[in-house]
Structure 1
Amino acid sequence: MSMLSRVHSISMAATILMKPNRGLSRVIPHDSFIFLHSPTFRSFSLSSPLSPSEICQTTQATKSEVDVLLKAVSDRNLAEQIKHILDMANRASLRREVLHTDFLTPPVLEEAMAALKKLADVNAIPNGGYPEAERCRLTVGHPDVLRTVPDTVAALSITGNFGYQPPSHGDFLGSVLGTGIAREKLGDIMLQGEKGAQVLIVPELVDYMISSLDKVGKVPVSCTLISLEALEYEPPSTKTLKTVESSLRVDAIASAGFKISRSKFADLISKGDVRINWSTVTKNGATLKTGDMVSVSGCGRLKVCFTQ
């Protein structure tokens, strides 16, 4: 059971999963329930044996079987990505190959794993580089050739003199993308305040990143390869709070939930650090509905649920 599903099963009260010392809170607008959890979503341990839920047994699917599985995916763009993964799984099974996706967003990974679990004869292993990773790569291969967690993720440390104003998640992401690296080649970016950030990336781009990334904003930086064991992250904890808001606008709900002023939250939106269901928010007045996930880079997430 995922962390999110456990939250729903605890009680009808709103629950917060928080990073320690983040000072996050939660807000309920008009009989709504909001669940806040940390910046990471799924947990796939790389240091311990894989559980049955982490290795999914699949089989070669016919075109009609794939079509049936895709009917459960309402979003057309999401369905296209799932179809590509299912086709990759079939190819890997038939050719006895091991194939890897780029980094996937949580919705794509979740839908892909759900579809693959309904098939057989291919192992499917997600890997985000550390437990609780949000963005993960998915490796598929025949069980005869794919038995352990593959080496598909590398970690880099980006350091600089960030003492006066540590860059935001958007600053690091923009600087990395500015080198020409595509977003899907990057995993999670973990902020470390004055120390900089740690970034997950596909191994084949490590040397390019080290030689190409020389600044984040106006601050000169150095980029070094580190082991996955050296990554610094904190598991989420839970807390329950209640409050009332008069608007379902994202800036009203999320600013109250994260204890951020609406003006500062507007700045976060302008920097690209706020997402609804993993899509970047561009307007303060975006309206939330039940089931929406609001993510603020470096702070956490709000899951919105309405009740009668």
Structure 2
Amino acid sequence: MSIYEHFRPDERPLIDHFLDLKDQVLDHYVPKLTDFLDPRQQTILKSVIGSEDAIQLSVFGGYNQAERTRAQLLPPYSESGENPFDLAYMEVRYPAKFGSVSHPQLLGALIGTGISRNKIGDLLIDGSRAQFICSKELESYFMLHLTSVGRMKVNCVPIDHEALLHSDDEWQMHEGTVSSLRLDTVLSEIYRLPRAKASEAISKGLAKVNWEMIEKRDYAIGEGDCISLRGFGRSRIISAGGLTKKNKIRVQYGTLK
């Protein structure tokens, strides 16, 4: 069975990229570092590498609970150097007495500088403080080009890892069954909604998968996917597989309010 059969058709280019990285590590004995990967992409990478003993695979996104991480692929007996994941920690400073900075606003401002999302890790917002993690090579770029978020004038400065805001998110784990892995069916199970209401929410643009709005009710959900429904919080698919006696699919998922 081809590895492609386990994933969505639109994920094939990503699988090809990971296979190419794997070959470079094995054939040329060189380490490789990925861009930032969301949880679904991390799941795909781990499946591509599989149980390949000749490759050391590790992931890190700046702190232990990071959702978006970079992955390092090392040949056997290789050792990581200092800051092996090549991360920079940035703080966005602004006059909090005049307003606040939200996650969507900060993400929009970062991408608005012309940098791809895959070069940016987690965004951490806590009251009057806003931080983000990015590739080290972009540290000076953001210091120069990130001058506003929304209508707020800001300064972007590097900070030490120790000054990073850590997420204390606690996922509540659940198990359930679904008739299929369609988005509307999975939303119905996770958020205890009638399927018709879940479908309506999707058509209204209220559902996101891996931080992207999805308006297809039959969109296929897989392991590692992060799902959010406006007004209901976020969730993550931990595992999906195995059938009950009634031919329903067993799913394990975490929810976060």
Task: Quote the offset at 1:141 in angstroms.
Answer: 2.0
State the shift of 1:281 in Å: 1.8
Report whether the alignment pairs 1:204 with 2:137: yes
2:213 match: 281
Question: 1:107 is paired with a residue of what secondary structure?
Answer: helix
- What amino acid maps onto 1:227 in structure 2? D
Q: 1:76 and 1:160, CA in 2 relative to 1: closer, same or farther beyond 3 A? A: same
Aligned residues: 221
Answer yes or no: is the 8 Å Cα contact 2:70–2:85 preserved in 1.
no
Amino acid in structure 1 at the alignment position of 2:41 = V
Partner SS state of residue 128, structure 2: helix
Which residue is equivalent to 2:185? none
Letter in 2 for 1:302: S
Distance 1:247 1:75 in 2: 23
Q: CA deviation at 1:253?
A: 7.5
* Structure 1 residue ranges (4+ consecutive) displaced by more than 6 angstroms after TM superposition: 240-243, 251-254, 287-292, 304-308
Within the alignment, does 1:301 sit opposite 2:212 as a pair?
no
**CA 1:232 to 1:300, structure 2 compared with 1: closer, same or farther past 3 Å?**
farther
Which of residues 50, 58, 80 in structure 2 aligns to 1:117? 50
Cα 1:156–1:173 shift into 2, 3 Å: same
> Could you tell me which amino acid in structure 1 is paired with residue 38 of structure 2?
T
Match of 2:184 in 1: none
Instruction: Name the residue aligned to 1:105.
Output: 38
3-state secondary structure, aligned to 1:138: strand
Distance 1:249 1:287 in 2: 14
| TM-fit CA distance, 1:287 | 7.7
Q: Indicate conservation of the 8 Å contact 1:250/1:288, yes or no.
A: no
**Structure 2 Cα separation of the partners of residues 245 and 168 of structure 1:** 28
Alignment of 1:92-241 (within 5 A): 92-147=25-80, 150-163=84-97, 165-195=99-129, 197-237=130-170
Task: Return the offset for 1:203.
Answer: 0.4
Q: Deviations over 1:26-76 (max 9, x none)?
A: xxxxxxxxxxxxxxxxxxxxxxxxxxxxxxxxxxxxxxxxxx552343212
TM-score (norm 1): 0.60
Identical-pair percentage:
23
Structure 1: how far apart are the matches of 2:99 and 2:219? 31
Aligned residues of 1:156 and 1:225 also touching (Cα < 8 A):
yes
Q: Distance in 1 between matches of 2:30 and 2:85?
A: 15
Unaligned runs of 5+ in 2: 175-189, 241-247, 251-257
TM-score, normalised with respect to structure 2: 0.71
CA distance in 1, matches of 2:199, 2:102: 18
Q: Provide the rounded CA distance (Å) in 2 between the counterparts of 1:147 and 1:82.
A: 25
